């Protein structure tokens, strides 16, 4: 039996690990499509779900569904292998390192913002699903009440 390693850094899982991030509030087809497209770029998909506090700072409002509910929804999706809570946009490098990601996938509305991570992994910006927006859905629902 081999001696235990003293290296605290876990080894990279076999295959390509893809990481992506999102709020995933009021889950819709656009969310599903980005997860499916991200999963297609590798063998393992890890998803960071934005914390409620991060959403308040980023969007100026609370999500409709709590972070716990959103984590559960995303974790239940077939293409998703692991989920975690994203506390800060500034920790992307740390998240990529921690999850040993080979590919970072972001929506093209973030194009160029994470190019500095190319020393760690491939960075891919995917086009958003046209005519689908969580904010627009929330406004439509609120207007119907």
pLDDT in tens, 39-71: 999 999 999 999 999 989 888 888 989 999 999
- Fold for domain 17-144? Rossmann fold (3.40.50)
Residue 134: pLDDT band by 50, 70, 90 thresholds? low
Contacts with 89 (C-beta within 8 Å, 6 or more apart), sequence order: 54, 58
Query: How confident is the model over 60-112, as pLDDT tens digits?
Result: 888 989 999 999 999 999 999 999 999 999 999 999 999 999 999 999 989 99
Domain ranges of the chain: 17-144
């Amino acid at each position: 039996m081999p001696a235990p390693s003293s290296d605290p850094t876990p080894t990279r899982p076999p295959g390509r690990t893809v990481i992506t991030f999102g709020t995933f509030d009021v889950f819709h087809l656009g969310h599903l499509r980005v997860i499916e497209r991200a999963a297609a770029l590798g063998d393992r998909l890890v998803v960071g779900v934005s914390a409620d506090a991060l959403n308040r700072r980023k969007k100026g409002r609370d999500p409709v569904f709590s972070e716990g509910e959103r984590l559960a929804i995303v974790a239940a999706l077939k293409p998703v292998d692991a989920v975690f809570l994203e506390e800060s946009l500034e920790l992307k490098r740390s998240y990529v390192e921690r999850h040993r990601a080979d590919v970072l996938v972001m929506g093209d509305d973030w194009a160029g913002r994470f190019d500095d991570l190319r020393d760690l992994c491939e960075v891919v910006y995917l086009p958003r699903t046209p005519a689908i927006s969580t904010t627009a859905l929330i406004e439509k629902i609120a207007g119907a009440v």
